[in-house]
Amino acid sequence: MTDFFDLVRQDYSDVYATATIRGTYIQEARCRVCKLAARKRVPPLIIEWEKGSDVIGDFTWPGGLEEVVLRESVRDALMSNHPSGVRFDQVEMIQKDGLKIPRKPAKMKNRVWLPYLGPPLWSLDVTSWCRLDIEKSKRSIVIECTECERSRMVVHDSTAPLVIKTGTWDGSEFFKIREFGNLVFAVARVSRLISESGFSNVEMKLRGSI
């Protein structure tokens, strides 16, 4: 058995700059029964900086916990340890037309301004997927549309550790769980590496074992 962890955001009080995801998405086919269409995020990740702070943390979370942006130093530190199940894509940035850099230096500190002149930022792109053992994780699935198999998860015990379905994990150190969308999970070695490096705006939360 090996423990695994969820990568989560640490700062929600504007110590670090926040950003919102603006693209890129492709629209998937509309379901002929429920009429809903999913959209899929494809590279490059495009973000827009928000008001709050101009300090870019080691980790930035532009899409809830489902998108992870890294400073280049973090990407380099991770790459030098060769974790499996991940690759890194460049991040692009946009800014609303008409936003102008204020003349007063104090006012400049409330957001990251473009043109961005720092080292590139990187999107952490997890390439390995596995499945959840729903029952052992004290959850159940309600099918909402039988045509497109859209479903939602019901949590019976939110404190229950997550259990990965036997045989579905390929051994990658970074992975996603289909039933949890784009949340990012990692094994203990990666968790230790991130915790011990003292990176800002990230926490590792123990979620279960494989």
Compute the least distance from the CB of residue 152 to Zn ion, in Å.
13
Nearest to 95 by CA among 126, 116, 64: 116
Nearer Cβ to Zn ion (110/151): 151
Q: Give yes or no for a contact between 69 and 124, defined as CB atoms under 8 angstroms apart.
A: yes
Compute the least distance from the CB of residue 33 to Zn ion, in Å.
5
Q: Which of helix, strand or coil describes residue 72?
A: helix
Nearer Cβ to Zn ion (33/101): 33
User: Parallel, antiparallel, or unpaired for β 162-163 and 203-209?
Assistant: parallel
Nearer Cβ to Zn ion (34/101): 34
> Which residues here bind Zn ion, judged by CB under 5 A?
31, 33-34, 145, 147-148
d(CA 5, CA 204): 6
Q: Which of helix, strand or coil describes residue 134?
A: coil
Nearer Cβ to Zn ion (99/145): 145
d(CA 7, CA 108): 30
Sign (positive/negative) of CA torsion 198, 199, 201, 207?
negative
Nearer Cβ to Zn ion (34/154): 34
Compute the least distance from the CB of residue 154 to Zn ion, in Å.
19
Length of the chain: 210
Nearer Cβ to Zn ion (136/150): 150
Q: How many CB atoms lie within 10 A of CB 20?
A: 12
Compute the least distance from the CB of residue 35 to Zn ion, in Å.
7
Compute the least distance from the CB of residue 27 to Zn ion, in Å.
15
Compute the least distance from the CB of residue 206 to Zn ion, in Å.
35
Residue 81, judged by CB atoms within 10 A of its CB (0-12, 13-18, 19+), counts as: exposed
